Amino acid sequence: VNRSGALMCAAHMRLTMPGTRMAPEELFWRSWKAISEARGGGRGIVTNVSFQRQLLLFARLGCQWWQDLPSVSLLWRTPHEQAMAAFRSLAEHVAQRVVCGYPGAEPKHHKYLVTLVRDGVMRGESKLPIAQAFDMKDGERRITSYATKYLEKKVKALSG
């Protein structure tokens, strides 16, 4: 109920916002009531207080989120999880470069191949000892090596 209700309330606020001059709190309240009534009334649509705060913040921001809003996930990620995220980003970047330059890799398959390479690299890295896994110093070489070996097989299968 909470997630679906929050999404519906946010969508309702965003659709209602253009052309209205009501306060964000009023917009939030009216959307809340409209969604609650559509569900049969009486029951709360979002009982999770954190979701309620997010909806109010969304209303106060004019029903917009920034495209480049920095992530707060660093606040709760362990150093190992941070290293994994950085390595995943590197893996995607390197995979993109290798796939786009690989002979025989058709452009219509690029995104698919990049995803397969990135995910395969992450699986392979997670099997290494923690001291070696997701090490950025040698990461580009390992990713390029994996991508090249993988593409030799996969591109042949896709074109055959």
Domain ranges of the chain: 2-60, 73-159
Buried b (16+ CB within 10 A) or exposed e, 129-144: eeeebbeeeebeebbb
- Cα–Cα distance, 58 to 64 (Å, whole number): 6
Number of neighbours of residue 77 by Cβ within 10 angstroms:
14
- Phi and psi torsions of 14, nearest 5°: -65, -40
- Rounded to 10 deg, the angle between the 79-101 and 139-159 helix axes is 50
Q: What is the dihedral of CA 90, 91, 96, 98, to 10 degrees?
A: 110
Note the pLDDT of residue 37: 85
Return the pLDDT at 70.
62
Please list, in sequence order, all residues whose beta carbon lies within 8 angstroms of the beta carbon of residue 92, skipping any fewer than 6 positions away: 114, 118
Residues 6+ apart with CB under 8 A from 89: none
pLDDT in tens, the chain (160 residues): 578 888 999 999 999 888 788 899 999 999 988 888 888 776 678 888 888 888 988 888 888 776 666 666 666 778 888 899 999 999 999 999 999 999 999 999 999 999 999 999 999 999 999 888 999 999 999 999 999 999 999 998 887 6
At residue 71, the pLDDT reads 65
Cα 83–110–133 angle (5° rounding)?
A: 20
pTM above 0.85, yes or no: no
* pLDDT at residue 66, rounded to an integer: 67
The whole-number pLDDT of residue 80 equals: 87
Q: What was the pLDDT predicted at 136?
A: 94
